Amino acid sequence: MAQAGALAGYLNSEKSKGLDGTYERLGDLKIPVPVAQGSDDKMIPTINSFHLQQKVPNGQLFIYPNSGHGFLYHYADLFAKQVNTFQLCPFPKVAQSH
């Protein structure tokens, strides 16, 4: 029963925030952070990546369609290209209206 409760907490992004305070400190990150995941990940619910990206001020989310935990294998070329682009220019400049 304890294991089932732990698993349920892990799968719930609102409850899997850790006990050491690291989740709460994500907002302190000053660097751009890529967050990548497959849309159909059965090991880590995809919504967790959305919550992570929302918590990190400079987070950029990459969701790979029709793939699970092994999205890196299904989208190896695209992922490599996006990582390289992210390293060169984490956030493209967007024209702002005043």
User: Is 94 a member of any domain?
Assistant: no
Query: In CATH, what number is assigned to the domain containing residue 82?
Result: 3.40.50.1820
User: Is 76 a member of any domain?
Assistant: yes
Encode pLDDT of 62-91 as tens digits: 999 999 999 999 999 999 999 999 999 876
pLDDT at 16: 56
User: Is 56 a member of any domain?
Assistant: yes
User: Is 93 a member of any domain?
Assistant: no
User: Is 29 a member of any domain?
Assistant: yes
Specify the number of domains making up the chain.
1
User: Is 22 a member of any domain?
Assistant: yes
Encode pLDDT of 11-63 as tens digits: 555 555 666 778 888 999 989 999 999 999 999 999 999 999 999 999 999 99
Helix (H, G, I), strand (E, B), or coil: what is residue 95? coil
User: Is 96 a member of any domain?
Assistant: no
Q: Is the model's pLDDT at 5 over the cut of 70?
A: no
Q: How far, CA to CA in Å, does 92 sit from each of 46, 52, 78, 88?
A: 24, 20, 17, 10
Residue 61 belongs to domain spanning: 2-88
Q: Is the model's pLDDT at 97 over the cut of 80?
A: no
pLDDT at 35: 95
